[in-house]
């Protein structure tokens, strides 16, 4: 299939390009490089058959989108382009609504003009909010606790209404749990712009000596060791979920959410221990207060994705830690190769 990947130079987008190309899909990228660098696409080309059409532009630019649609004529879109920092979203709500909501609306208008009827959307388990039960299934009530989470839920609702208005459209809503890890080549990985918000890249930067200490946010949660439990999903497994979603979209209509997680969760201390084993480095930690907005535990029920997408996570914690360490130790400054 001809697939337009918005935000395709990003962490999850770049890994997804490789999996799409490995399955024979023809790919095109639109990225504004707000949180990525063109180096990423060169590395993806080096790791694959190299055929990637790419455009530089913002998903809110209708004229640019029409140019991409006319040039590439996608049969489906995988929509990654968006902002994703929970803390920043509270400080810059209008920016987050503009990029994540206006961007999605502008993309849908362009898809309508071009007759493109299938979209795979990068959503998030954060749409569930405080768990009423665990593991979360797709029927769990949605009550996002952050602006970022609300933009994801609103985009899901927009996509659901867009699809409901026409019988021949598909929206697959992938609710990611916690993406971690890196490509086995160690040439692709997560490269946060500033101080990492997320746990795994922060641990990796402590391991290579870029950060002195990992702050552990809260040790008084109602969990076995008192630290937060999360369902971490290896980025290659997550990338493969998008390929499976494309196959589903080819033969189904309508909108449908899918949890993409492993069903196994780990604590902050579990992640530190796994990384120390993978890296052979000590990870100094400092106990700190809980971080605002954090929930104690998250865990995915991914049985719908297993059954309906034919998708299963295959990478375990050791590979999540080992692949992150291989990427970070090989690319001390991420994609800044200078
Ligand atoms: C994981 C655990 C922290 C950093 C968010 C979004 C989600 C997705 C991933 C975009 C928690 C603890 C963290 C640190 C710590 N975002 N922690 N010290 O908050 O579960 O999920 O990021 O795709 O949609 O909601 O991920 O990695 O920030 O935190 O102790 O320096 O690690 O308290 O328990 P989170 P995270």
pLDDT tens by residue, the chain, 338 residues: 999 999 999 999 999 999 999 999 999 999 999 999 999 999 999 999 889 999 999 999 999 999 999 999 999 999 999 999 999 999 999 999 999 999 999 999 999 999 999 999 999 999 999 999 999 999 999 999 999 999 999 999 999 999 999 999 999 999 999 999 999 999 999 999 889 999 999 999 999 999 999 999 999 999 999 999 999 999 999 999 999 999 999 999 999 999 999 999 999 999 999 999 999 999 999 999 999 999 999 999 999 999 999 999 999 999 999 999 999 999 999 999 75
What pLDDT, on the 0 to 100 scale, is given for residue 251? 98
Which atom of ligand 1 lies at the shortest distance from residue 271's CA?
Answer: 32
Instruction: Express each pLDDT in 156-177 by its tens digit.
Output: 999 999 999 999 999 999 999 9
What spacing in Å lies between the alpha carbon of 199 and ligand 1's midpoint? 6
Q: Do β-strands 266-267 and 229-230 pair in parallel, antiparallel, or remain unpaired?
A: antiparallel
Q: Measuring from atom 16 of ligand 1, which residue has the nearest CA?
A: 84
In the reported structure, the alpha carbon of residue 324 is separated from the centroid of ligand 1 by a whole-number distance in angstroms of 16
| DSSP H/E element including 174 | strand 170-176
Closest CA to 213 of 265, 272, 266: 272
Q: What is the pLDDT of residue 304?
A: 98
d(CA 149, CA 88) in angstroms, rounded, equals: 12
**pLDDT value, residue 20:** 98
* Ligand 1 pocket mutation pick from 173, 178, 292 by most atoms within 8 angstroms of CB: 178
Question: Which of 96, 136, 148, 221 is flagged as catalytic?
Answer: 148
Cis peptide before 135 (omega within 30 of 0): yes
Q: Tell me, what's the pLDDT at 337? A: 75
Measured by CA distance, the residue closest to atom 10 of ligand 1 is 84
Distance (Å) from CA 198 to ligand 1 centroid? 5
Which residue, judged by its Cα, is nearest atom 21 of ligand 1? 178
- Catalytic residue check, 148: yes
Q: Which value, in Å, is the radius of gyration of the alpha carbons in the chain? A: 19
pLDDT of residue 49: 80
Residue with CA nearest ligand 1 atom 17: 199
pTM of the model: 0.98
Determine the distance separating the centroid of ligand 1 and the alpha carbon of 266, expressed in angstroms: 12
Domains in the chain, CATH or no CATH each: 2-182+232-262+299-314 (3.40.50.720)
Ligand 1 center from residue 268 Cα (angstroms)? 9
Given ligand 1 and candidates 144, 217, 283, which is best to mutate, with the most ligand atoms within 8 Å of its CB? 217
pLDDT value at residue 338:
53
CA angle (182, 187, 193) in 5-degree steps: 70
Per the listing, tokens 């990611």 go with 176
Closest CA to 179 of 74, 69, 80: 80
Encode pLDDT of 247-278 as tens digits. Answer: 999 999 999 999 999 999 999 999 999 999 99
Q: Which of 24, 8, 25 is nearest to 16 (CA)?
A: 8
Other CB atoms within 10 A of residue 265 CB: 21
Which residue CA neighbors atom 32 of ligand 1 most closely?
199
Q: What is the pLDDT of residue 109?
A: 98
For CA atoms 21, 138, 293, 288, the dihedral sign is: negative
Ligand 1 contacts (CB < 6 A) are 84, 86, 124, 126, 176, 178, 197-199, 202, 214-217, 228, 230, 268, 291, 294
């Amino acid at each position: 299939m001809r697939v337009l990947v918005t935000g395709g130079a990003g962490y999850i987008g770049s890994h997804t390009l490789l999996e799409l190309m490995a399955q024979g899909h023809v790919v095109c990228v639109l990225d504004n490089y707000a949180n990525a660098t063109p180096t990423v696409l060169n590395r993806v080309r080096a790791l694959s058959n190299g055929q990637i059409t790419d455009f530089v532009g913002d998903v809110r630019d209708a004229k640019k989108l029409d140019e991409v649609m006319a040039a590439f004529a996608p049969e489906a879109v995988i929509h990654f382009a968006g902002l994703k920092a929970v803390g920043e979203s509270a400080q810059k709500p209008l920016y987050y609504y503009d990029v994540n909501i206006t961007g999605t609306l502008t993309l849908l208008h362009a898809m309508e003009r071009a007759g493109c009827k299938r979209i795979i959307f990068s959503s998030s388990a954060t749409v569930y909010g405080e768990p009423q039960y665990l593991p979360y299934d797709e029927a769990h009530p949605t009550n996002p606790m952050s602006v970022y989470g609300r933009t994801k839920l609103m985009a899901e609702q927009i996509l659901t209404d867009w699809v409901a208005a026409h019988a021949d459209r598909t929206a697959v809503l992938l609710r990611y749990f916690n993406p971690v890890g890196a490509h086995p080549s160690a040439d692709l990985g997560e490269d946060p712009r500033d101080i990492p918000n997320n746990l795994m890249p922060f641990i990796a930067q402590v391991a290579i000596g870029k950060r002195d200490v990992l702050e552990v946010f809260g040790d008084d949660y109602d969990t076995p060791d008192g630290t937060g439990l999360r369902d971490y999903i290896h980025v290659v497994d997550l990338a493969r979920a998008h390929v499976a979603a494309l196959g589903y979209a080819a033969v189904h209509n309508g909108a449908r959410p899918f949890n993409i997680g492993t069903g196994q969760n780990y604590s902050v201390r579990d992640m530190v221990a796994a990384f120390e084993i993978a890296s052979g480095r000590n990870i100094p930690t400092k106990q700190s207060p809980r971080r605002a907005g954090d929930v104690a535990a998250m865990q995915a029920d991914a049985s719908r994705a297993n059954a309906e997408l034919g998708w299963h996570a295959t990478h375990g914690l050791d590979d999540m830690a080992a692949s992150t360490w291989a990427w970070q130790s090989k690319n001390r400054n991420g994609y800044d190769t200078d």
